[in-house]
Structure 1
Amino acid sequence: MSRIGKQPITIPEGVDVNIDGNVITVKGKNGELSREISPIIDVKVEDNQMTFERPNESKSSRTIHGTTRAIVNNMVKGVTVGFEKVLELNGVGYRAQKQGDKLVVNVGLSHPVEFEAVEGLTVDVPSNTVISIKGANKEHVGALAANVRAVRPPEPYKGKGIRYRGENVRRKEGKTGK
Structure 2
Amino acid sequence: MSRIGKKPVDLVKGVSATLSGQTIEVKGPKGTRSFTATDDVTLTIDEGSVKVTPRGTSKRARQQWGMARSMVENLITGVTTGFKKELEIQGVGYRAAMAGNVLKLSLGYSHEVNFAVPAGVTVTSPKNTEIVVEGIDQQLVGQVAANIREWRKPEPYKGKGIRYKGEFVFRKEGKKK
Q: In 1, are the aligned partners of 2:19 and 2:25 still within 8 Å (CA)?
A: yes
Counting matched residue pairs gives 177
Once the two structures are superposed, what CA deviation does each residue of 1:35-64 show, in whole Å capped at 9, x if it has no partner? Answer: 222122101111111111001111111111
Moved more, 53-62 or 142-151: 53-62
Q: Tell me whether 1:35 sits opposite 2:13 in the alignment.
A: no
Does the aligned pair in 1 maintain the 2:149–2:163 contact within 8 Å? yes
SS of corresponding position for 1:126: coil
Query: Structure 2 length normalisation: TM-score?
Result: 0.97
What's the TM-score, normalizing by structure 1?
0.96
Distance in 2, Cα, partners of 1:41 & 1:104? 44
Contact 2:40 2:60 in 1 (8 A): no
1:53 aligned residue: 53
Structure 1 unaligned segments of length 5 or more: list them.
none
Structure 2: state its 5+ residue gaps: none
Distance 1:53 1:16 in 2: 20
Q: Which amino acid is 1:130 matched to?
A: E
Task: Measure how far apart 1:106 and its partner are.
Answer: 1.2
Task: Give distance in 2, aligned partners of 1:54 and 1:38.
Answer: 10
Q: Equivalent residue of 1:103, what SS?
A: strand
In 2, Cα distance between equivalents of 1:109 and 1:23: 46
SS at match of 2:4: coil
Q: Following the alignment from structure 2 to structure 1, what is the Cα–Cα distance between the partners of residues 173 and 3?
A: 43
Counterpart code for 1:51: K
**TM-align CA RMSD:** 0.9
Single out whichever of 108-117 and 85-94 deviates more from structure 2: 108-117
What is the distance in 1 between the residues matched to 2:61 and 2:108?
48
Equivalent position of 1:74 in the other structure: 74
CA distance in 1, matches of 2:26, 2:120: 15
Offset of residue 65 of structure 1: 1.1
Query: Cα offset for 1:127?
Result: 0.7
Partners of 2:34 and 2:108 lie apart in 1 by: 39
Residue in 2 that maps onto 1:4: 4
Does residue 100 (structure 1) correspond to residue 87 (structure 2)? The answer is no
Opposite residue 13 of structure 2, the aligned amino acid is E
1:117 Cα deviation after fit: 2.3
What is the letter of the counterpart of residue 165 of structure 2? R
Aligned match of 1:15:
15
SS in structure 1 at match of 2:92: coil
Moved over 3 A (4+): none
CA distance in 1, matches of 2:61, 2:176: 55
- Give the structure 2 partner of residue 171 of structure 1: 171
What amino acid sits opposite 1:49 in the alignment?
S
